[in-house]
Structure 1
């Protein structure tokens, strides 16, 4: 269902969520978290994260001011973070893994690459969003859905469900973020395969669906910024992405809108974990406690379109307007097979259409 984001954000969110990360201002009553700028330095917290600069460029300085810690931030794709944490297992270099999906965190938990959070963090997050013996917790929920450029396409002409995307009508009308390094795209593609696997006991029909999608795909964007730029340049009108980033771009003036697919959206639990054996476990805990504080969460909801996993006093208009109809599929099945499915796509389907 289309939410008319451009109109909604014009009245409910007056923010500067720029791609450069500059000038983001609180909106909708969410004040930016404040801290003691005179706090003595407490060492460095190293964070690996796929979070966009528009969020990290604001949250990190807030944390540093409030806590007295310095932060070394390394920005990577979600899957790239998992690969780096795994590669450094014998000599961990980071403290916090901020941003990832169950298919990335669960294997890491099974390999003891991440370790349980302390009680202050676990007390803040609802029980249903604590996973794998408390080794990671969900920070937010993300809807994976369809988005389009409103200057190139009317809502009536846009695809309204997943299977619409493989209609030949949309040949060369789709741009997709390159899948392998993206937690969002891996989640969408795995969910599409899982729909058929549950009926057939095989990924083959899902692979055929992805081949048809590839045939309609004009290009694969190297990273999210490349995706937004290509859409704004009107190389093609349609993409698949998450609600949060599309809404942030729309709030900045991009002619983007979202459609919640009629059959439902995969809903990612996007999380945060403490890296086992990291050099500053106390700093990791401090960062997570800061993230889950009421003040920070309300700020993220009002300024970054974040669906929270903690209780908050009120929901802004944009959040209450989302239907949040979830596409049901076997998430355990996806966790077991996602890697092989995405590898097959990369080797046998991508750019073959």
Structure 2
């Protein structure tokens, strides 16, 4: 075999590979990109990326896993050049604030009549997909059954000094809901701040994100945190973390976990399809069984839902969601600037215990 033939064959192979790469590149580029901002975790997001792309081969679903508050902040920053089309997950008050600022595209889903009045935004700007109870999460290796706190106020006991780790609240709609509810359960805002200062006094550190929170509690850097029930279940059942939880006996906020279209987002027609795709009866039942979510829709057959939903003893805290929407951001700013990391000093300045 002469060298000229080998050279010619090599050029042909290179040319063929170039064509293949160009074709595959064009195929990928031809897909329409749909970006989703969501705190629902990589497990659920990856599953619905794959499922939607299988049903819609011309769509490339891209998701960014972030806290509900981070999603709001990012959508607000990008309002003149929206990058995301779907915001999937976060508390109702944060969605209502986004709607008031004109950040959401109204859309009435086919199942709109199946959620209650608290599970929707004004003018169809958002709808609830899940009901998410907040809980006290603990390391089941280090916190014995007779030691576990049973109420929010138990967390202020001196025995928990430097044993509490908390997800930094300003980036998390879950934590903002908890903080706001804990302020509103007191007779005055000042007494609410006092309660949070006493909690800060017992807090060892604030974790930057959920992953750091899980790792710190699992590594026994702390024993207790405040979090939500579905994610606690997921980390325990799917990842083997030694976590348990208590639903506070004095009542817990149950947030409306919402979904919405982003105003000005690309391919809103596809975004509507994704919105419907992840909120069908079948999808919600699957999410309940696999990702421990409590569906907000009222038209699902209870017999098809997991037993833990009906067995959960959840005493719902009476939360003024409108007040939380109006005042929540101000409460968080005050806490961050005056109480975080200096709870004891804040109490001492006011001659409080």
User: Shorter chain as normaliser: what TM range?
Assistant: 0.7 to 0.9
CA contact (8 A) 1:267 1:327 kept: yes
Aligned residues: 309
Counterpart mapping for 1:194-213 below 5 A: 194-196=184-186, 199-200=187-188, 203-213=189-199
Q: Which residue of 1 aligns with 2:246?
A: 259
Looking at structure 1, the residues matched to 245 and 173 of structure 2 have their Cα atoms a distance apart, in angstroms, of 19
**TM-score (normalizing by structure 2):** 0.84
The structure-2 alpha-carbon separation of the partners of 1:42 and 1:289, relative to structure 1 and needing over 3 Å to count, comes to farther
Pick from 51, 58, 62 the counterpart of residue 47 of structure 2. Answer: 58
CA contact (8 A) 1:118 1:285 kept: no
Describe the superposition over 1:293-351 as per-residue Cα deviations: whole angstroms up to 9, x where unpaired. 12211110100000001222222112122122101132211111110111111111111
Q: Which residue of 2 aligns with 1:170?
A: 160
The structure-2 alpha-carbon separation of the partners of 1:119 and 1:80, relative to structure 1 and needing over 3 Å to count, comes to closer
Pick from 253, 278, 281 the counterpart of residue 265 of structure 2. Answer: 278
CA contact (8 A) 1:92 1:278 kept: yes
Offset at residue 42 of structure 1 (A): 5.9
Looking at structure 1, the residues matched to 143 and 111 of structure 2 have their Cα atoms a distance apart, in angstroms, of 44
Looking at structure 2, the residues matched to 274 and 75 of structure 1 have their Cα atoms a distance apart, in angstroms, of 17
Looking at structure 1, the residues matched to 133 and 236 of structure 2 have their Cα atoms a distance apart, in angstroms, of 16
Describe the superposition over 1:221-278 as per-residue Cα deviations: whole angstroms up to 9, x where unpaired. 1111111111110111111000001111111322211101011111010101001121
Offset at residue 75 of structure 1 (A): 2.4
CA contact (8 A) 1:121 1:288 kept: no
Offset at residue 121 of structure 1 (A): 5.0
Offset at residue 108 of structure 1 (A): 1.0
Looking at structure 2, the residues matched to 312 and 280 of structure 1 have their Cα atoms a distance apart, in angstroms, of 30
Q: Secondary structure at the match of 1:133?
A: helix
Looking at structure 2, the residues matched to 302 and 337 of structure 1 have their Cα atoms a distance apart, in angstroms, of 36
Q: Which residue of 2 aligns with 1:288?
A: 275
Higher mean C-alpha deviation, range 140-149 or range 57-66: 57-66
Matched, 1:345 2:340: no
Q: Of the two, which has the highest radius of gyration? A: 2
Q: Secondary structure at the match of 1:218?
A: strand
Unpaired segments of 5 or more residues in structure 1?
Answer: 1-40
Describe the superposition over 1:149-178 as per-residue Cα deviations: whole angstroms up to 9, x where unpaired. 111011221111011111112111111111
CA contact (8 A) 2:72 2:98 kept: yes
Pick from 94, 97, 107 the counterpart of residue 107 of structure 1. Answer: 97
Offset at residue 124 of structure 1 (A): 6.0
Structure with bigger helix share is 2
Matched, 1:308 2:295: yes
Q: Secondary structure at the match of 2:146?
A: helix
- Greater RCO, 1 or 2 (C-alpha within 8 Å, sep 6+): 1
Q: Which residue of 1 aligns with 2:213?
A: 227
Offset at residue 54 of structure 1 (A): 1.7
Offset at residue 126 of structure 1 (A): 5.4
Looking at structure 2, the residues matched to 105 and 156 of structure 1 have their Cα atoms a distance apart, in angstroms, of 39
| Structure 1 consecutive aligned stretches of length 4 or more whose deviation exceeds 6 Å | none
**TM-score (normalizing by structure 1):** 0.84
